[in-house]
Structure 1
Amino acid sequence: MPASNSRINVAILAVPEVTASALYGMFDLFSSPGRDFPFIVTGEAGEQSMRPYIVARTMDVFQAANGIWVKPDHDFKDCPQPDIVCIPDFFVNPGESVSGMYDPEAQWLKQAHEDGAMLASACSGAVLLGEAGLLTNREATIHWAYVATLTNNYPGVKVRVDRSLVLSGEAQRIIMAGGGSSWQDLALYLIARFVGLKEAMEVAKVYMLQWHDMGQRPFASLPFGRPPMPWSTVARNGWR
């Protein structure tokens, strides 16, 4: 844990296939504790408790999956030591392996975990935990459409699709959120764990967030419909 008089460093990992809504939504929520609720109540902003920043393998500006431009704050070499690393969801074809595609990210995640950081993934972001070798013989969760992506590629992983959040690993320093907007649950949990329950409730009030306690089963029971469009096609032609 950071010193009591310092902000909590939250590194948010970005790859070119990242979902911008989760990336920047996490940034907003982690910027809020201690700052926003006092502003709403008194008209004067308080002091931030957390310091989020976007980190990527290079400092190059790139376009996210939906075309929004992402400008990283740090690359892996100059990134301040994080207390928390968050991995937003990104576009990967269900069931397919991404072996070798994200080696720099996997190595950085593994080192951050060894250095004591909590690793937290949203939706398909759990795939990068698998690439870092951190899901072997452990419980996990991921979006219901991507269960096979974990079970096909990482030995012994036990996917709990019925749960919105799964805590795993030594001292529960690996946490995964299922899918969709459950990254909001993930952010609130991390705020409660690192800053305090009161501050997490205040952030929930500011952003009018509600806990997704029903899990994913109602969505997992829906039929897939047509086969998923390959990411290469999406990148080339855009969504239809």
Structure 2
Amino acid sequence: MDKPDGGRESVKVLIVAVEQTAGSALYGMVDVLMAAGNLWQAMAGEPEHRMFHVDIVALDRAPFRCGHGIPVIPDFSITDNPGGEILILPELWLGPDESLHGQYPALIAWIKRKFQEGITIYSACSGTVMLAETGLLNGYEATSHWGYQDLFRKYYPEVHFQAQPNLVFSDPSARIVTAGGATSWHDLALHIIARHGSPGEALRIAKVYLLKWHEESQLPFTPLVRRSLHGDSVVRHCETWLAEHFRENGALQKLVEVSDIPERSLKRRFKAATGHTLIEHLHNLRVEEAKKMLETTHSPVAEISAAVGYEDISFFRALFRRLTGLTPGQYRRLFQPILRDGEQKKSYEQVV
């Protein structure tokens, strides 16, 4: 592992390249991941640290040209069997009826072996065809470009192909993630940075590169609680009080008593000052706290629901999904840190 800033280790990333690989997706992914932790920081005059170290892996180390004649100089061959925490299968130049059946048997076997060793696999667009060839997607949902849905029905009928989502968690351990259309590597790169680095860094990279983060992918990363700039001292006091007491039963009624002004007046002033209602603010505080607990603990969702103020877990689940775009279980799988060095994480089935 690299330790570029004297302590924090770079996450080791391997990207597979073959002759059909799309050069833009290959080098775009390399460029964006290698920029995480240092590009924005260099521009802003902040301390830099490289979050990811990326190597290209091919059938052998000999230079070759991938799609549209773009040169590739591999860092490793599959026989070198380099170590890593992440394996990426980028977009391939494949026709809508072209499978990889029978091609690259040594590479397909190597990908399966790396997964068995504990690596997390990500595929973008038609890279999912290569992943399907391994059999690792059998019985699970997966996505790719919509143009490949007939190919999947014909050659990989055991894969539950989904044409609509940008990202799909394809196995219960969340160690296989597939991405959709031709520029889905943008979403995938930002997802990898958020999951293995930090959501804040993913947002900074999106801004620097002007990458479009599709709405359904952006929602889980959006903070629900932002301090509003306004001049209403009563409302500021209410915001401060709620930040400390939002978990309590009857929090809003207690707030009305603390504010010492009529409930209707308080609600009107709060909406005018902040742009949202008191109940919306309370829900945002509670769900934001639930997000933190899902990110940092293995507590069951029912316990988290009660801890933030909701006895009705069904209501909590529905509210959480409305505000974040994900179920609590999906959110946990997205943001729980990936453990390293052989550590075993408690089964998600026990906590969702």
TM-score bracket, normalised by the shorter chain, equals 0.7 to 0.9
Matched, 1:151 2:150: no
> Deviations along 1:201-232, whole A, 9 cap, x unmatched?
111111111212479xxxxxxxxxxxxxxxxx
1:201 matched to which residue of 2?
Answer: 203
Matched, 1:17 2:17: no
2:328 matched to which residue of 1?
Answer: none
Contact 1:14 1:23 in 2 (8 A): yes
Matched, 1:80 2:82: yes
1:183 matched to which residue of 2?
Answer: 185
Report the Cα distance in structure 1 between the residues aligned to 2:201 and 2:216, rounded to whole angstroms.
Answer: 23
1:25 counterpart SS class: helix
Matched, 1:30 2:14: no
Contact 1:95 1:147 in 2 (8 A): no
Q: Which amino acid aligns with 2:144?
A: I
The count of residues paired between Structure 1 and Structure 2 equals: 213
1:176 counterpart SS class: strand
Matches within 5 A, 1:111-190: 111-190=113-192
2:102 matched to which residue of 1?
Answer: 100
Q: RCO greater where, 1 or 2, for CA within 8 Å and sep 6 or more?
A: 1
2:54 counterpart SS class: strand
1:57 matched to which residue of 2?
Answer: 59
Q: Which amino acid aligns with 2:36?
A: P
Matched, 1:40 2:43: yes
Contact 2:99 2:129 in 1 (8 A): no
Report the Cα distance in structure 2 between the residues aligned to 1:7 and 1:80, rounded to whole angstroms.
Answer: 15
Report the Cα distance in structure 1 between the residues aligned to 2:210 and 2:98, rounded to whole angstroms.
Answer: 36
- The alpha carbon displacement at 1:199 in A equals 1.1
1:47 counterpart SS class: coil
Report the Cα distance in structure 2 between the residues aligned to 1:214 and 1:35, rounded to whole angstroms.
Answer: 27
Report the Cα distance in structure 1 between the residues aligned to 2:159 and 2:79, rounded to whole angstroms.
Answer: 31
> Deviations along 1:62-114, whole A, 9 cap, x unmatched?
11111111110111122431111111111222133321112122111101111
Q: Which has the higher strand share?
A: 1
Report the Cα distance in structure 1 between the residues aligned to 2:164 and 2:102, rounded to whole angstroms.
Answer: 30
Q: Which amino acid aligns with 1:152?
A: K
Report the Cα distance in structure 2 between the residues aligned to 1:158 and 1:104, rounded to whole angstroms.
Answer: 25
1:6 matched to which residue of 2?
Answer: 9
1:172 counterpart SS class: coil
4+ residue stretches of structure 1 with deviation over 6 A?
Answer: none
Aligned-residue Cα RMSD (Å) equals 1.9
Q: Which amino acid aligns with 2:24?
A: S
Instruction: Please give the TM-score of this superposition, normalised by the length of structure 1.
Output: 0.84
1:68 matched to which residue of 2?
Answer: 70
Q: Which amino acid aligns with 1:38?
A: Q
Q: Which amino acid aligns with 1:28?
A: D
Q: What stretches of structure 1 of length at least 5 have no aligned partner?
A: 216-240
Instruction: Please give the TM-score of this superposition, normalised by the length of structure 2.
Output: 0.58
Q: Which amino acid aligns with 1:134?
A: L
Q: Which has the higher helix share?
A: 2
Q: Which amino acid aligns with 1:111?
A: R
- The alpha carbon displacement at 1:61 in A equals 0.7
Identity %: 38
- The alpha carbon displacement at 1:14 in A equals 0.1
Report the Cα distance in structure 2 between the residues aligned to 1:38 and 1:5, rounded to whole angstroms.
Answer: 16
Question: Which structure is larger by alpha-carbon Rg, 1 or 2?
Answer: 2
1:180 counterpart SS class: coil
